[in-house]
Structure 1
Amino acid sequence: MKFERYSFSEKIKENITKLGYKRPTDIQYKSIPPILRGEDVLAVAQTGTGKTVAFALPVIQMLSARRKKREKHAVHCVVMVPTHELAEQISGVFKKLAAGTSVKIQGIYGGIEQDPQIKNLNQGVDVVVATPGRLFDLESQGHLSLRDIEILVLDEADHMLELGFKHDMNQLIKKLPARRQVLFFSATINKQVKDAAYSLVHKAVRIQISPNDPVSGNINHSVAFIEMDDKRFFLERIIREHPDSKMLVFVRTKVRAERVMKALERVSLRSETIHGDKDQNQRNTVMKRFASGQNKVLIATDVSARGIDIPDVDIVINYDIPEETENYVHRVGRTGRGQKKGEAIAFCSTEEKERLAAIEGFLNKKIAMLDIKKNDYKETMKMSGHMETDWKSLIDEADEQSNKKGRKKKKSRK
């Protein structure tokens, strides 16, 4: 079935065509009809399968068809998301799909000045895409009213629960009118997610796409057994062998992200980092450079994994095996999005093998192993620009800088 056969307005169909959408993905095909009928929906689908469009299209259609009078501070739909980046990206998708219609959209999130957001709310907004903190802050200040909410969308619900937002989700539900439509979208499902979902939805239509394999079939994923101290050499080799590829590298911590960037810098390879220590303007700048291809290597922590929805990420590298098994799905889901193919490579050291086994259990299958011969392993070490680099000094230097920051913070607290 093609999008042109849906009962969307001509303007929305025109926007769909401009964006290059022709046929709905599985999650879109199964979600759009019940949402248009006003039913609650509980949907679980792999990352990168088009969940945002699955709820944005019917929401825009319903709100534009109702043509309700827009009142100051009152909104008709709230989309709650866990991160600033997601709020910005999802509001961007809504704006593109709603262009030329009567539906007004505003992203509401912290890390930036609230005044422009307040100004737009005062002018009248139909849909807000918000993180919990800024949403409740503006609501408590009287800049936002939830009394007329007709539709609540909880996107990346599993990640919101992971970040401890269950109380915020419950608080929001209490503030909404008794009669409202709830759309609950998640990339993974477990007991915590199920319990939260069933406490929020009412007689929901349940949709689950590829429940036995949470990783998209568009992704070729593999693992290479590489010792911790040698990972930087293999990362260098992959970057050099794929100079035109857009690459996303996941590490465990903020400090480690900066270390890996410095290590690449020492062998004349450019990269940038994104993590919780950067303010929103810095994160936005980094994301724009990565999206445009100005920078092709982005090093990220798991906190940022859900907020990175950049088209054409060619390769995802799990430089560190994630400690939370479900984070593997969200990391590799940054590539192979929509109909495009993607590559995901994990570096697994001896001490990480237990975590790898847990991930394979979660996926219900083994990850293909990249067989690295002893000679190839040695050759990679020789190829590296590390011959001119004192790696031990580099690591010591990074540790010392981290310790200095820690001492400064302690002094400032005193």
Structure 2
Amino acid sequence: MKFNKYNIATGIKKSLEEAGFNRPTDIQYKSIPQILSGQDILAIAQTGTGKTAAFAIPLISMLEKVKPGLEPQTVKAIVMVPTRELAIQIEQVFLELAKYTKVHPVAIIGGVDIEPQLKKLQKADLLIATPGRIMDLVFKGHLYLKKIDYLVLDEADRMLEHGFYNDIKKLITLLPKKRQTMFFSATINETIKDLAYALVNKPVRIQISPKDPVSKNVDHAVTYVSMDDKRFFLERFVKENEDRKIIVFVRTKVRAERVAKAMDRVNIHTETIHGDKDQKNRFQVLDNFREGKNKILIATDVSARGLDVKGVDFVVNYDLPELPENYIHRIGRTGRGTSRGRAISFCSDEEKVYLDAIQEYIGKEIDVMKISKGSYEETIAYSEANPYDWKQLINEAESEPKKKKKKK
């Protein structure tokens, strides 16, 4: 069934057509009609399945039909998210889909000037924010939750990871009982299930769980590299893929800065994004990467789900993640939509336990990209960071005239 056959606002159909989206993904096909009919939903779906549009399309359509009232608060819908970056990205999806409608979405985030955001909030129909930010707006009198008709929790599992459980439980008590709730999570466990059923009322359960959780658009492989040699192989990979957009994932903030400095020593420009960066810097780094001003982005797992940048050619797992599900979120940054993507993981001896956990999680072995001994040694030898200038020695050796053997 094509989008133009759905009972959604004409303005949304126009936006979808302009963007080249004709048919829904599985999660959209299963969610949109249920949401439009007024049902609560509990959806389990991985990142990259199109779940943002699965709730954005029907929400905009329903809000378009709401007649303006006399109340000072215009916000009728809330989308709760785990991070500021995800709030901004979801806002962009809503803005794109709603541009031919009367619906006004706004993301409210910390770390930047709040006054311009509050002015937008006064005219907004839909708010996108973290539970902590929503709580702050409520207690400062900027938001009245009893006026909310629609509630979306996106990436609920990650919100719990970020410690928002108590905030969400508190917000539940401030929301009206008569509302429509959409609960989205990539994973499900007892805590998430308890939270979900405290929020939803007789929900339709939707589960999109392909046998292989890795996107079919992503080709991924692993190669065995010593921990101390990873920088040489990253240097070679980047130089062999000039002008390609690459996201490099590392395990910690300290590692991110160390890898950036290692690349700087071999004249490769990179930028880092992690929790120690202030919001203004993070926005600037993401904008530089989106616009192609910087081609190499070094990130931690905090950014794995939140990064949504078009045209990422490669993901490099410089460090393997400790949590196997983060592998899916990382490599899901490439191969978005209909584009093909590629991911390569560097695995040291001490990380093989993580590799085993990842392969068990995805239900199959990851293809191994073998490196010959000669190629391995060559990668280190030809690095600009090598303490021994092997290239100069080789050039000198090749340029020296061969000495003639003396006759006896």
Q: TM-score, normalised by structure 2?
A: 0.92
Shift of residue 30, structure 1, vs aligned partner: 1.1
Partner of 2:371: 372
Partner of 2:42: 42
Shift of residue 194, structure 1, vs aligned partner: 2.9
Shift of residue 213, structure 1, vs aligned partner: 2.4
Shift of residue 9, structure 1, vs aligned partner: 2.0
| Residues 121 and 127, structure 2, Cα contact 8 Å, conserved in 1 | no
**Gaps in structure 2 of 5+ consecutive residues:** 390-408
Partner of 1:149: 148
Aligned residues between the structures: 389
Partner of 2:134: 135
| Residues 47 and 215, structure 1, Cα contact 8 Å, conserved in 2 | no
* Larger Rg, first or second structure (1 or 2): 2
Matched ranges for 1:269-308 at <5 A = 269-308=268-307
Q: Distance in 1 between matches of 2:343 and 2:188?
A: 22
Matched ranges for 1:224-239 at <5 A = 224-239=223-238
| Residues 78 and 129, structure 1, Cα contact 8 Å, conserved in 2 | yes
Decide which moves more: 290-299 or 189-198: 189-198
Change (3 A) 1:70 1:41: farther
Specify the SS of the correspondent of 2:338: coil
Q: Distance in 1 between matches of 2:170 and 2:223?
A: 45
Matched, 1:116 2:92: no
Counterpart amino acid of 1:8? I
Shift of residue 119, structure 1, vs aligned partner: 1.5
| Residues 75 and 146, structure 1, Cα contact 8 Å, conserved in 2 | no
Counterpart amino acid of 1:329? I
**Gaps in structure 1 of 5+ consecutive residues:** 391-414
Cα deviation code 1:265-297 (max 9, x no counterpart): 110111100011111110000000101111110
Q: Distance in 1 between matches of 2:132 and 2:388?
A: 45
Counterpart amino acid of 1:227? S
Q: Distance in 1 between matches of 2:76 and 2:230?
A: 50
| Residues 149 and 177, structure 1, Cα contact 8 Å, conserved in 2 | yes
Shift of residue 307, structure 1, vs aligned partner: 1.7
Matched ranges for 1:98-113 at <5 A = 98-113=98-113
Shift of residue 206, structure 1, vs aligned partner: 1.4
Matched ranges for 1:184-203 at <5 A = 184-203=183-202
| Residues 91 and 106, structure 1, Cα contact 8 Å, conserved in 2 | yes
Partner of 2:332: 333
Shift of residue 177, structure 1, vs aligned partner: 0.5
Matched ranges for 1:8-407 at <5 A = 8-69=8-69, 71-122=71-122, 124-387=123-386
Partner of 2:402: none
| Residues 215 and 332, structure 2, Cα contact 8 Å, conserved in 1 | yes
Change (3 A) 1:13 1:389: farther
| Residues 267 and 389, structure 1, Cα contact 8 Å, conserved in 2 | no
Cα deviation code 1:177-202 (max 9, x no counterpart): 00111111122333433333233222
| Residues 155 and 184, structure 1, Cα contact 8 Å, conserved in 2 | yes
Shift of residue 210, structure 1, vs aligned partner: 2.7
| Residues 149 and 180, structure 2, Cα contact 8 Å, conserved in 1 | yes
Change (3 A) 1:70 1:45: farther
| Residues 45 and 214, structure 1, Cα contact 8 Å, conserved in 2 | no
| Residues 46 and 216, structure 1, Cα contact 8 Å, conserved in 2 | no
Q: TM-score, normalised by structure 1?
A: 0.91
Cα deviation code 1:99-145 (max 9, x no counterpart): 131211110111112111212223x2210000122211111110111
Q: Distance in 2 between matches of 1:210 and 1:218?
A: 16
Q: Distance in 1 between matches of 2:384 and 2:71?
A: 62
Counterpart amino acid of 2:38? G
Counterpart amino acid of 1:368? D
Cα deviation code 1:155-197 (max 9, x no counterpart): 1111111112122222222111001111111223334333332
Cα deviation code 1:45-81 (max 9, x no counterpart): 2211211111100000011022242632352110000
Cα deviation code 1:85-111 (max 9, x no counterpart): 111110111111111312111101111
| Residues 263 and 269, structure 2, Cα contact 8 Å, conserved in 1 | yes
Q: Distance in 2 between matches of 1:336 and 1:299?
A: 18
| Residues 231 and 262, structure 2, Cα contact 8 Å, conserved in 1 | yes
Q: Distance in 2 between matches of 1:70 and 1:281?
A: 36
Partner of 1:398: none
Specify the SS of the correspondent of 2:221: strand
Partner of 1:412: none
Decide which moves more: 318-327 or 64-73: 64-73
Q: Distance in 1 between matches of 2:268 and 2:356?
A: 32
Change (3 A) 1:148 1:389: farther
Specify the SS of the correspondent of 2:145: coil
Decide which moves more: 187-196 or 95-104: 187-196
| Residues 237 and 384, structure 1, Cα contact 8 Å, conserved in 2 | yes
Q: Distance in 2 between matches of 1:70 and 1:42?
A: 33
| Residues 322 and 328, structure 1, Cα contact 8 Å, conserved in 2 | yes
Shift of residue 306, structure 1, vs aligned partner: 1.9
Counterpart amino acid of 1:40? D
- % of aligned pairs identical? 56
Decide which moves more: 23-32 or 71-80: 71-80
Shift of residue 388, structure 1, vs aligned partner: 5.6
